[in-house]
């Protein structure tokens, strides 16, 4: 069977019905079930016939046939742009026909939900089937998932009782696996207003942020500002719910242009000043500072899949990417000198030091997410994936364990960081930490950072004073991960992610699968040296990034 139920389970269910119900009633249920199955099969058959028709000549845009649909090809639309286009097309069509609608909410895919009265169902189907936008347009049933051309809505009598369906233009991108389908469509719900004894009741076909069963007073319409503009919505949907996140969240990046001659000369002068001091050979490895424009693609991923950040702070050594549009009000460049106190701290080439000063960014929100420039959002994520409504951070522990022992010059820097942090937390709380931390965006609480800075003053000072990575360093984002959990201000969560080391060719298949499936919340493209490994060539990495994120962000010139 293709419904996910085993044949033996189906037999048991039939036997149970026969035992519990009179024979006549069982025959009625069985017949009704068979009729429903036949009806659904007929719906799908008709839809498939409609989808097989080649309509390429009907559109004014470039199209491509794939997966039984005609897709709009090309364009520079972000997911939110496509969702807004679908919303505007539907709502403007309804308004032109004199049909009242109201906003219900937004899906996890940034798409709009709207509702109309069930008494307008036939009229809605008729006017939507008459849309001629010059682009492919489809309807998807919210009941059984069947897709058919929107032009068939009015004539398809088997859709006459549909309570929920979405209207969407499918879109694909050249040389990319990116596609926008029904998930970006405008969903239409038909709400029933009670009559007779049920006067005063309003019933929605699906749950919303309030409830399916409402009163007429609950659905009094008010105007609210949304990502789709000023829209009418039931007053009950404007109330703050216990699971709403209402505080601002910022994004913080650290970035350096390792190819900048001025920066390179500054680094070499600093090294000369400290000649004779021993460091692990990886500490100043050139790969750590190499730029493949990862920041550009990470910002694309942020706007595509997490556009809800208030501000984006980019912390640099007085550098600005040539492609970055700094006039965008959401972008703010922060120089190292803006977050360090007076003293002999700068220039610094120690990422541990820089990260441990990020909470000093002027104007930074209490809640922020630290994002390394080689970390990317892989699909739609809401703020609830990083913070609870009460402001608790959601951190991402790894299943890997860090080695124990003392920090030494002979060990890898990330092992030493955990050892130093472990020692501090054991001395302060009597708690031992061993799990590593995933290479994901890290939710942070500014107040916790100031508290840790005060609590571990000497360790912070030592880290700030190290111009290059040192085996005695701590790093604040990792310390926050553990400290906030111990003090009840963070909880563990699970982000589905991939770690990709492009200095090891064995990760090439991981990259191909990541691009093909697009099923990761986040992923990291790191460049950690591996003895004897063959690096993945830069062209392959660039093609991967361009294919995953083909749409330029608002932050590019």
Contact 498, 521 (CB under 8 A): no
Contact 350, 288 (CB under 8 A): no
Q: Tokens representing 129?
A: 């089937």
- If you average pLDDT over every residue of the chain, what do you get? 88
Measured in degrees and rounded to the nearest 5, phi and psi for residue 548 equal: -75, -35
pLDDT at 288: 47
Contact 450, 480 (CB under 8 A): no
Distances (CA, A) of 137 to 289, 331, 380, 411: 47, 36, 23, 59
Q: How far apart are CA 554 and CA 75, in angstroms?
A: 14
User: Residue 326 — pLDDT band, cuts 50, 70, 90?
Assistant: very high
Task: Dump pLDDT digits (tens) for 28-51.
Answer: 444 456 666 666 665 666 655 556
Q: Which residue has the higher pLDDT, 396 or 6?
A: 396
Reported CATH class of domain 53-238:
alpha beta
Q: Which residue has the higher pLDDT, 225 or 14?
A: 225
Average pLDDT estimate for 384-409: 87
Average pLDDT estimate for 428-433: 95
- Helical (H) or strand (E) element with 492: strand 490-492
Measured torsion, CA atoms of residues 91, 97, 98, 103, in degrees rounded to the nearest 10? -20
Q: Which of 169, 149, 146, 150 is nearest to 79 (CA)?
A: 169
Reported CATH class of domain 249-397+437-467+478-548:
alpha beta
Q: Which of 103, 386, 397, 81 is nearest to 252 (CA)?
A: 386
Contact 490, 390 (CB under 8 A): no
pLDDT at 196: 67
pLDDT at 17: 36
For residue 282, pLDDT over 80 is answered with no
For residue 216, pLDDT over 50 is answered with yes
Contact 156, 181 (CB under 8 A): no
Task: Dump pLDDT digits (tens) for 101-153.
Answer: 999 999 999 999 999 999 999 999 999 999 999 999 999 999 889 999 999 99
Q: Which residue has the higher pLDDT, 375 or 18?
A: 375
Domain ranges of the chain: 1-51, 53-238, 249-397+437-467+478-548
Question: Which residues are CB-contacts of 529 (< 8 A; sequence separation ≥ 6)?
Answer: 282, 285, 287, 503
């Amino acid at each position: 069977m293709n419904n996910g139920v085993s044949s033996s389970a189906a037999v048991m269910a039939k036997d149970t019905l026969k035992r519990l119900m009179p024979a006549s009633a069982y025959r009625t249920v069985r017949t009704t079930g068979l009729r429903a199955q036949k009806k659904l099969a007929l719906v799908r058959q008709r839809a498939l016939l409609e989808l097989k028709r080649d309509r390429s000549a009907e559109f004014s845009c470039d199209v491509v046939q794939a997966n039984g649909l005609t897709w709009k090809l090309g364009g520079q639309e972000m997911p939110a742009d496509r969702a807004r286009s679908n919303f505007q097309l539907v709502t403007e069509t309804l308004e032109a026909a004199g049909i009242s609608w109201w906003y219900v909410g937004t899906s996890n895919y940034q798409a709009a939900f709207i509702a109309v009265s069930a008494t307008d169902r036939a009229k809605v189907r008729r006017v939507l089937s008459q849309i001629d936008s010059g682009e492919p347009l489809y309807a998807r049933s919210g009941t059984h998932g069947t897709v058919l051309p929107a032009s068939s809505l009015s004539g398809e009598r088997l859709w006459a009782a549909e309570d929920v369906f979405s209207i969407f233009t499918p879109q694909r991108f050249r040389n990319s696996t990116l596609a926008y389908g029904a998930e970006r469509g405008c969903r239409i719900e038909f709400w029933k207003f009670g009559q007779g004894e049920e006067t005063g009741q309003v019933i929605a076909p699906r749950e919303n942020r309030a409830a399916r069963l409402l009163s007429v007073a609950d659905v009094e319409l008010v105007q609210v500002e949304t990502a789709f503009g000023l829209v009418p919505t039931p007053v009950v949907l404007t109330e703050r719910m216990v699971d709403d996140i209402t505080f601002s969240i910022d994004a913080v990046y650290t970035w350096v242009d390792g190819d900048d001659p001025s920066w390179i000369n500054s680094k070499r002068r600093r090294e000369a000043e400290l000649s004779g001091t021993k460091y692990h050979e990886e500490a100043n490895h050139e790969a750590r500072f190499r730029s493949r424009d990862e920041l550009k693609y990470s910002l694309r991923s942020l706007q595509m899949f997490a556009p809800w950040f208030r501000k984006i702070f980019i912390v640099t050594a007085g550098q600005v990417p040539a492609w970055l549009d700094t006039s965008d009000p959401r972008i703010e460049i922060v120089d190292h000198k803006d977050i360090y106190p007076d003293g002999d701290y700068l220039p610094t080439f120690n990422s541990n030091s820089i990260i441990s000063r990020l909470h000093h960014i002027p104007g930074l929100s209490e809640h922020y997410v630290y994002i390394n420039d080689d970390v990317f959002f892989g699909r739609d994520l809401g703020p609830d994936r990083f913070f609870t409504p009460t402001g608790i951070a959601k951190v991402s522990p790894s299943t890997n364990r860090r080695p124990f022992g003392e920090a030494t010059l002979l060990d890898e820097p990330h092992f030493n960081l955990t050892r130093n942090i472990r020692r501090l937390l054991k001395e302060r709380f009597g708690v031992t930490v061993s799990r590593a931390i995933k290479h994901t965006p890290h939710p942070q609480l500014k107040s916790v950072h100031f508290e840790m800075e005060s609590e571990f003053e000497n360790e912070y000072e030592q880290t700030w004073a190290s111009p290059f990575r040192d085996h005695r360093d701590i790093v604040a984002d990792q310390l926050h991960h553990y400290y906030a959990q111990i003090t009840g201000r963070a909880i563990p969560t699970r982000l589905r992610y991939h770690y990709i080391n492009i200095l090891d060719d064995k990760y090439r298949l991981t990259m191909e699968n990541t691009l093909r499936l697009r099923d990761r919340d986040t992923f990291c493209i790191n460049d950690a040296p591996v003895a004897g490994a063959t690096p993945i060539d830069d062209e392959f990495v660039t093609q991967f990034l361009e294919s995953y994120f083909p749409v330029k962000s608002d932050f590019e010139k």
